[in-house]
A and B are shown apart, each in its own frame.
Chain A
Amino acid sequence: MNTPAVEIENLSVTFPGPNKTRIEAVKNVSLTLTPGKALGIVGESGSGKSVTARSLLGLTSGNVTADTLNILGTDATRLTEKQWREIRGNKVAMILQDALNSLDPLRPIHREIADALPGSRKQRKQAAVEALYSVEMPEPALRAEQRSPQLSGGMRQRALIAQAMIGSPSVVVADEATTALDTRLTRMVLDQLAQLKDQGIALAMISHDLAQIAQVADDIIVMRHGEIVESGPTEQLLSNPQHDYTKQLLAAIPSGVARFAPLSQVATTEAGTFENFRHPADMRKLTDTLAIAVHGLSKTFGDHAAVSDVSFSVPQGSTLGLVGESGSGKTTTARMILGLERPDTGSVSIFGQHFAPAKESDRRDLRDQLGAIYQDPLASFDPRYTTSQILINALSGGTTSRSRHYHKRALELLDLVELDSSLLSRSPRELSGGQRQRLAIARALAPKPDILVLDEPVSALDVSVQATVLDLLDRLQLETGTSYLFITHDLAVVEHMSDQIAVMTHGNLVETGTAQQIIHEPSHPYTQQLIAAAPDWGPRSRR
C-alpha cells in the first residue's frame, strides 16, 4: 500500500576481533519497514538484533556494508557523521531502554526532551509539553518542569517516548523498550508503541521476548548468530513456525504452560533435532508441614511503611509465588525471611522453629536449611573468586579449605545444575548470564537446604535462557523436594512455577490463593488490574 520507509538488503556489520580477526555481528540481513506497520526483531542477546537496529541510525561503531540501505529515500550506505545527524531524531528516532539512566537527573524533563529542537527556549518548552501531552503524561506542564528522580518509573518511560517523538520522526526504533519493566508499565509502553503505528510511523521493535513483540508487531524477524533464521507475518510465524529455533523461542514462553511442563528444549545427539526436555513425574507428596511460616511481618524505613502486617506460609515441597511490582515490599519481605533485615513486628519460623527476629548466633544452625538466589548473581559473588572458590567457600562454611573432599562436592554441585566442570577455574565475570545464575543456584544448594528463597531469579535473563533455568529449578524441586519462595514481577513466570500465589502491593498482601484461582478468578481489584495488563498470549491454546 505504501512505499517502504526503510529498505535494507544484505546488511552486514563486522567488528574487529582479537588477533586481526573480524567478528561478524550481522550477516546478510534484509528487512523492510513500512509506514503504519511494526516490524518485530526477536533474538537472544548477541544475536545481532540491536546492531541491526542501530545501523538505522548510523550508531554502530563497526564496519557496515549493504547492497541497499535506503532510509526515507536517502541512500545511507555512505553518509558522513554530519549527514547522519540530520537523520537522527528528525527522521529516525530511538526509544531508549533504561529510563532511569537515560535521563539526566539534573536537568528538567522539558530540556531533556526538546533541547535538540530549533527555536527559542519558550517555543522548545511548549513543544516538550505538547509531546508529553501526546504520550498521555499526567499534568504535562508540571512534569516538564521536574527532573527525572521526581518522576515515577512510568512517567520516565513516557518522557523517553516523548523524547523520541519530539522531532516528528517517520521511523521509530524501540530497542528492548519493555525489558525489565513491571507488568502494568510494559502494557503502557506496548500501548504507546501501538499508537505510534496508528500515527503512520514505521516502527521497529526489538526484544528477546516473543510474547511482547507479538502484541505490537505485524511482521516478525527471528535472528540468531547475526542471521535471520525465519521471518513472516506475526500470525503465521506464531501459529506455524518453520525453524527449530523459532519453535524453541515459542516453547520458552511460560504463559499458560502447565506446572512442571518443560519450557526449554535440548538438542538430541543426532542431526541437531530438538526434543522436549523431560522431567521426572510429579511424585511430590505434599504434607501439612510448613517450610516457612510468616506471621504479621512489618517493616518501616523512616516514615515509609515498606511491609505492613504480611502473613503467609509455604508448605513443604511446594512453591509459593510472591508477585508484586517494584516497590511493593516483596524484596524487603524476602530479606526479613532470610534474616538480613530485622522485622519491626512479626515473626518467621522455619519448619516450626523460630528463625526471625533472633540473634545471628542463635539461628546459625538453622541457616543450613535456607538458601537464597538473587536477581544479579554477579553482585553476590566475591569479585576475586573463581567458580571453584565460590563453591568451596560455600561448602566449607567459609573456611576456604583446599581439601579434596570439597573439590569433589563442588564438581557434584556443578553437575547438579548442568554446568561443565571446565568452568571451575573461570571467574564468574567470564560466564554468561544463564551460567552465572546456575552457579548461584549451585552455591545456594551447597549446604543442602530444604528451602530456597528466589528473589527475581530470572528477570535479568533472556526468555530462552530463563526457560532453561526455570526447568532446572523444576527438576531440582521434583528430585529433592525443596520448598521455594519464588519472588517475581512476571505473572507468566509465577503462574508456571507456583502452586500458590500471593500478591503484594504497597507493602500489603492483598490476595493469596492457588495459582489457578489467582490467574483465572482474581478477586482483589489490584490483582484484576495486574492480570488484565499481562500480555494476551493466544497461540498456546492453538498448539
Chain B
Amino acid sequence: MTTTTPPAGPVPLLSAAELKVTFPGRRGAASARAVDGVDLDIGTGEIVALVGESGCGKTTLARALLGLVPPTRGRVTFAREPLGYGARALKAYRKRVQLVLQDPSGSLNPRHTVYDAVAEGLRIHAHPGDERAAVAEALSRAGLRPPERYFARYPHELSGGQRQRVVIAGALVLEPELIVADEPVASLDASVRGEILALLLSLRDELGLSALVVTHDLGLAWNIADRVAVMYLGRIVETGPVEEVLTAPQHPYTRALLSVLPESGEEPVVLMGEPPDPSRIPDGCRFHARCQVLASGEAARAGVDERCRTDSPPVLTGGAATQVACHWATAG
C-alpha cells in the first residue's frame, strides 16, 4: 500500500469499519456480497465522492451508512458512537444525517406543496421552534429566494432544478451534520447541474456540512469532492484526495474509467463485458478477470500475476491517505 499522507488525525464524523452487506440469494442461489469489506471515513466538513458503475455496491454502502440496511458484518460509527438500530436511535440519527435522493420528481409527493414537503421533517421530529421561519430559512439556503414565493407551489409547477432544490431544502431544514446524496444531479440538465453542485459546495463552505456523494460521474468528483473512493464489486479499490486519484490514477480500473471519458487525451481502455456479478466474486483480486494490466502481460513482467489470480489485496483503510488495492500498482 502506498501511503503519501499520514492517516488523518481528527476523529471522523461518520465511519464504516469492515462493513459487509450480504443479500441472500433466491431459491438457493449464491448470496450477493453487495458490500464486501469496506472501511470509509468522512470527516467534518469533508465532501467524499463514492464512485463506481451500477451494481458495484455504492448505493448499498450509502444505505448501510444511513442505517437503512443493517450491515451483515462490521459497524458504522457516527460522532464516536456506534450506530444503534432501534427505532428511537435511528430516528435521532436521521435528524443528523440526511439523505438526498436522485430524481426529485420521484421523491416529492405531487400532492404536497413545497412548504409541506420541506416542513415534513420538522413535524416528524416535533420541531420546537417556528416552523415557518425554519422552512423559509431552508428554502433560501437551497437557493429558492424569496422563499415565500415557493410555499404554495406544487412540484409540477417547478422546473427540475427547482425540484432538486426543494429536496435539498427538505434535507437542510433539520440542520443535519452530514448529507448523503445519491446521484444528486443525474437527472438534471447540464446547465442546471452546475448550479446544484455549486449549492452543495457552498453549503459545505457556509455551514460546514459534510457530504457523501454517490455517483458514477467522475467529473462530479472533480467539481466538488475533496476525496474520492472508487468502488468495484463491493470493495473500495482506490481512494485518496481527488487531485491525486483523478490525475494520477494507480488502479487499472480507475485508469480505465478515466480513459473512456470523452475528455481524456489518452487511448481509451474499453473494458469488455459487463460489470461482474456480486454473487460470483472472482478469487484473487476481484478485478483480475477484466484487468488490462494482467491481460497485457505487464503484471507478469512485474512478477505479480500469480498473486493477482490468487490473493485478494487487503482492505484499504478508511482515512485520507492515498491508497490502492492492486498488487501491480503497489509492487514497484
A and B from one assembly?
A: no
